[in-house]
Amino acid sequence: EIVLTQSPGTLSLSPGERATLSCRASQSVSISYLAWYQQKPGQAPRLLIYGASRRPTGIPDRFSGSGSGTDFTLTISRLEPEDFGVYYCQQFGSSFTFGPGTKVDIK
């Protein structure tokens, strides 16, 4: 099973700041099979990034993804108030696993 590790566990930032979230896999993951989700309290997760760097329709371009192999990054260029929540990475190349999440909260 591919295990995903996310860091940091919590990121305390102010609106307008840049957020950099890391996801590390225990084995190499094809770039095509890595996704990021956002979840706000009381809501279902929402797909943010797939194929490591592609955004679904409607996702703002301040969200970007990068990486390859075992190391992937989600960057939020300038935090908006609505961006605070928990972010999960997921791999779906070998079964399906999620990382433990990174909470982005207001500093």
Partner 1 sequence: QVQLVESGGGVVQPGRSLRLSCAASGFTFSTSPMHWVRQAPGKGLEWVALISYDGDNKYYTDSVRGRFSISRDNSKNTVSLQMNSLRPEDAAIYYCATTLRGSYRNPFEFWGQGTRVTVSS
φ/ψ of 81, rounded to 5, equals -55, -35
φ/ψ of 79, rounded to 5, equals -65, 130
CB of 8 to partner 1, least distance (A): 15
Should residue 103 be labelled a site residue for partner 1 when binding is judged by CB under 8 A? no
Site map (CB under 8 A) of partner 1, residues 10-49, x = contact = ----------------------xx-x-x-x---xxxxx--
**Contact, 99 vs 23, CB < 8 A?**
yes
Should residue 100 be labelled a site residue for partner 1 when binding is judged by CB under 8 A? yes
Torsion of CA 44, 59, 72, 95, to 10 degrees: 40
Footprint on this chain of partner 1 (rule: CB under 8 A): 32-33, 35, 37, 39, 43-47, 50, 56, 88, 90, 92-93, 95-101
